[in-house]
Amino acid sequence: MEWSRAKRYKKFADWSQQEKDDLLNKIQHSPWRMDVHIQPKSGLLNDPNGFSYYNKKWHLFYQNYPMGPVHGLKAWYHLTSEDLTHWHEEGLSMIPDNEFDSHGCYSGSALPVGDKLFIMYTGNVRDENWERYPYQLGAWMNKDLRIEKIKRPLISSQPKNYTDHFRDPQVIHYNGAYYALIGAQNTQLEGEILLYKSTDLSSWTFWGPLAFAKQSLGFMIECPNLVFVDGVPLLIFCPQGLNKNVLDYQNIYPNVYLIGNHFDPDHAVFDSEQMINNLDEGFDVYATQAMNAPDGRALAVSWIGLPEIDYPTDQYGWAHCLSLVRELTIKDGNLYQNPVKETASLRTKHIHLQGQLHNQLTPIMHDCDRAYELDIELKGTGSGRLALADDGLNALDLLFDFDAGKLTLNRGHSGVQFAEAYGTTRTTTITRNGQINLHIFIDNSVAEIYVNHGRKVLTARFFPSDRQTQISLETNGHLDYNCDYWSLLNGKG
Ligand code: FRU
């Protein structure tokens, strides 16, 4: 099917019931749907938006083009939860319907204010010559989940010396004032984060480009987020076109973080002595949205998908998912990411496995569930392999080398291949002490791998056949394993 521009921007109301039914029917026949991850009901899912806690519930929205697996007219799809784990689909809640967001309700954030939820987002507008006009817009959601858009833009154009790449406001409340961090590109075609200030959420003043990095950060910064982890400021963002001398990465665009010393909004400074780092060392994480929850935790959720890449589910009319919600902590100056403790409420059947291997390959678990959690402690010598979704021929492999202190995720023979131009392996370092802890979530076509209690995370989509149901271990030395396995169910089925 040809996805012309006219088709991708056709109003949702102009799609026939037949076209919508055909799409849903196609999705119903898709392999690779997930059991516990948030996935689109139809079409394409991208960035998490408006992640917040309001009126005793967690709220999470995502960018959605509901008519197919392509980037088209974007809307916000809404979900609510009482435990950050079991999500209730509330449906499409903000769709492009006015002169300031006619070509997409783009990414943004939300903040509870009084008895309402304040939403700030980017309205994407194109004229007849396909010139772009970005507006930073506001909306209020009430307790009945009804969203009322504010009629007039909060920020009606980018400042002088910036291009039309100006989007993704994160609104925060800090030291008695409101601030918005907005992704931008200057006229020298460099990525920046712009800081805006407001005292009443309605009139916004450009406060300056945020000073936070010494190096140039590519041609555009998308999805900036500032959170505080036990008081330590942490900046998370997506620099597009980042020079690989600044940071090594293999994905088309990286999603990075920077730990700061302190945030000084008066002078638009985020002061840091650290280097930027990859937030996730796997294949598919982008557009992470982080926020400070009222219970004090810093929480993050990511789009598991990347721009400009085709995925095997496209042929079934849908694409991508969101990550589990992760809690961010900092220990000894290092960032840790772990699934929130509430994730344990998905556990059902438990199996404990333990054993020893000498220079051999052994299946340790047959007939795995579609969705499961594995917490495995490995101790040993030499190198080896943990094969997930294994059928003897194909597997998603985790190769560990205790001597070299390396861990490699290989999805090169894990099922249907895609995005091979960006490599089929990702490697990270581990301490060379002959042991490793891997906390793994497999949900049919997605893997989240938390290494050494969240010190590193590797996330990957992969597209196995239904014969790939085994977990195997291999070593060329000696290996002790001790592991807990739980099947996961979200209570829906
Ligand atoms: C990031 C992004 C954002 C934009 C949104 C549009 O993936 O490009 O910058 O707001 O997606 O869907």
Do the Cβ atoms of 285 and 279 come closer than 8 Å?
yes
Q: Averaged over 257-263, what is the pLDDT?
A: 97
320 lines ligand 1 (CB under 6 A): no
160 falls in which pLDDT band (50, 70, 90)? very high
Distance separating alpha carbons of residues 461 and 471, to the nearest angstrom: 17
Amino acid at position 493, single letter:
G
| CA 464 to ligand 1 centroid distance, Å | 28
Identify the DSSP state of 315: G
Give the tokens for residue 164: 């039309």
Closest atom of ligand 1 relative to the 106 alpha carbon: 10
Pick the residue whose CA is nearest to atom 9 on ligand 1: 222
Tokens (6 digits) for 322: 């969101």
289 close to ligand 1 (CB < 6 Angstrom): no
The yes-or-no verdict on residue 62 having pLDDT over 50 is: yes
**What are 177-188's pLDDT values in tens digits?**
999 999 999 999
Instruction: State whether the Cα torsion 213-216-217-221 is positive or negative.
Output: positive
Position in ligand 1 atom list of the atom nearest CA 168: 10
What's the CA dihedral at 353, 354, 356, 359 to 10 degrees?
30
Task: Name the percent of the chain lying above pLDDT 70.
Answer: 99
- Which of 142, 156, 147, 15 is closest to 73 using CA atoms? 15
Whether this model's pTM surpasses 0.95: yes
Judged against a pLDDT cut of 50, whether residue 432 lies above it is answered with: yes
Q: Is the CB of 101 under 6 A from ligand 1?
A: no
Question: Parallel, antiparallel, or unpaired: how do β-strands 43-54 and 318-319 relate?
Answer: parallel
List all residues 6 or more positions away from 46 whose beta carbon is below 8 Å from its beta carbon: 62, 63, 64, 71, 74, 286, 287, 303, 305, 307, 320
Q: What is the mean pLDDT of residues 214-227?
A: 95
- Pick the atom of ligand 1 nearest to 108's CA: 10
pLDDT of the residue at 1: 67
Asked if residue 74 has its Cβ within 6 Å of ligand 1, the reply is yes
Measured from the CB, is residue 107 less than 6 Å from ligand 1?
Answer: yes
From the CA of 183, give the closest atom in ligand 1.
Answer: 9
pLDDT at residue 491, rounded to an integer? 62
pLDDT for the residue numbered 169: 99
Tokens 């195997």 sit on residue: 472
81-128 pLDDT, tens per residue? 999 999 999 999 999 999 999 999 999 999 999 999 999 999 999 999
Strands laid side by side in the 371-380 sheet: 347-358, 478-488, 371-380, 435-443, 446-451, 456-461
* Rounded Cα gap, residues 363 and 470, in angstroms: 7
Please name the amino acid found at residue 402.
Answer: F
pLDDT tens digits for range 331-355: 999 999 999 999 999 999 999 999 9
* CA 269 vs CA 207, 235, 272: distances in Å: 11, 12, 9
Q: What tens digit of pLDDT does each residue of 447-471 get? A: 999 999 999 999 999 999 999 999 9
Mutation probe of ligand 1 site: the residue of 47, 237, 301, 302 with most atoms within 8 A of C-beta: 47
Q: The dihedral of CA 15, 17, 22, 23: what is its sign? A: positive
Can you give the pLDDT at residue 216? 87
Judge if the beta carbon of residue 137 lies within 6 A of ligand 1.
Answer: no
Contacts of 245 (CB under 8 A, 6+ apart): none
Active site annotation includes 391 = no
The span from the CA of 446 to the CA of 460, in Å, is 6
Average confidence score pLDDT of the chain: 97
Per-residue model confidence (pLDDT) at position 493 = 38
Q: Among 35, 47, 168, 284, which one carries the catalytic annotation? A: 47
Instruction: State the pLDDT at residue 490.
Output: 76
